[in-house]
Structures are given as structure tokens and as C-alpha cells.
Chain A
């Protein structure tokens, strides 16, 4: 059974800092790895989707990497802004048509 872990559970950084959020998974037989953002009381917004054949994806100040062999993914946020404050969730899409398996998320606070 796939298990997804996110470290740290919470992170507070000053505005402008570059930061890395970590995600690990136990079963390397994944189809893809997806990163989401969740604002308080809201649903999930998809940020980046990395297919199993890819090593990274970039969107603006966000860069997500995937290392299947080590069971890890990272989300890099450059030049953080207060508007980046939210909970970031990673989720693995496993082989076949099985649904996403989520980590518990990292709660990010960017202080102005």
C-alpha cells in the first residue's frame, strides 16, 4: 500500500527566501506525482504534475522534481511571497487507474 509522507509539517520563512518542500513515497511504481496548493477552507489547486518518465516540471517560480528510485519529490519555490502562504500537498498517482494517495501536507507561512 502506497504511503506518502511530507516533511516538514509546517514551515515559516521570511519573504524573498527560496525554499524546498519534501515529499517521499514508499512504492516507486507510480504513474505520476502531483503537487497541490490548499488555502484555508478551500479546495485543492493543482500546481504541477510530473509524469513517471519525467524528472522535473516548472511553472513560474515553482519547480518540482521527481526521483522514483529514491521515492522522493521536491517542490522548490523561488523568491517566496506572502501570497504563497498555504498548505502544499503532494499526491502519487499509482499504476493503473487507482486514485491519488496524498501526504498530510506542509503548512507554509511567508512572513512579510
Chain B
């Protein structure tokens, strides 16, 4: 079956613009995670959904970042007033239910803020 997919694969934007990043999890996976990976670093947690609700959003760096998962499947990560420091690879992962299960990662979206 299909794995986790993310669109776009690359996004270049200008400072101050708004961007949306999309994640399509594996069908049937109720848990969905967003991570951010900077060059030479491991992924850092942003937000975790269980179904439609955000179970843990403690990793969001500030209120410019927001994510939704309205129907419990596809999720969108939204970044307002982008800054150069937001440049990174944004990774999405899904799992069957909890963090105790294997997480399956998408290929990521590389965001570049000029």
C-alpha cells in the first residue's frame, strides 16, 4: 500500500509570506506527527494528532505555526509570516495509534525562506 506522502516536495517563499504544507498519512493510521529537521540535526517534534485533535502541540515554536487535521486523515501545517529561520525540512509521520507503535515517515517538504 501507499506510504506517507507530503506535498510539495520543495517550497521556496519570501520572508513574510504564508505557506501550507500537506501530509497524507497511511490509510487507517490514527496518529499523525509533524517534525522539523534542520541541516545536520535530528528531527524535532512539532505537533501530534490523535484522530482529529491535537494531542500535543508543545513543540510548535510560536503562534505563527498552526496545524489542522479536520477529518482525521490529511493534515496541513500552516506557517504565517515566514522567517528565514523557518527554513528546514518538515517531516510528517503516521502510526497505528500511539508513539509506542512504529512511526512511518514521509519524504518531507524542504522549505526555503528567502
Is the C-beta of A49 less than 8 angstroms from some C-beta in chain B?
yes
Known: A31-B99, A45-B105, A49-B102. A91 touches B91 (CB 8 A): no
Q: How many A-B residue pairs have CB under 8 A?
A: 68
- Of the candidates B41, B45, B110, the one whose C-beta lies within 8 Å of that of A100 is B45
Known: A42-B107, A104-B41. A97 touches B56 (CB 8 A): yes
| Contact of B103 with A46 in the complex, beta carbons under 8 Å | yes
Residues in A whose Cβ lies below 8 Å from that of B66 = none
- Of the candidates A32, A41, A43, A103, the one whose C-beta lies within 8 Å of that of B91 is A43
Beta-carbon contacts under 8 Å, A12-51 to B = 31-32, 34, 36, 41-46, 49, 51
| Contact of B43 with A102 in the complex, beta carbons under 8 Å | yes
CA distance A24 to B9 in the complex (A): 32
Sorting the interface of chain B by its residue count into under 10, 10 to 19, 20 to 34 or 35 or more gives 20 to 34
CA distance A43 to B3 in the complex (A): 11
Instruction: Type the 1/0 row for A84-108, where 1 means its CB is closer than 8 Å to any CB of B.
Output: 0000010101101111111111000
The binding surface of chain A is classed by DSSP as strand
Is the C-beta of A77 less than 8 angstroms from some C-beta in chain B?
no
| Contact of B107 with A32 in the complex, beta carbons under 8 Å | no
Other A-B pairs, 7, CB within 8 Å; known A45-B105, A99-B99: A4-B42, A34-B102, A49-B102, A91-B42, A97-B48, A104-B41, A104-B42
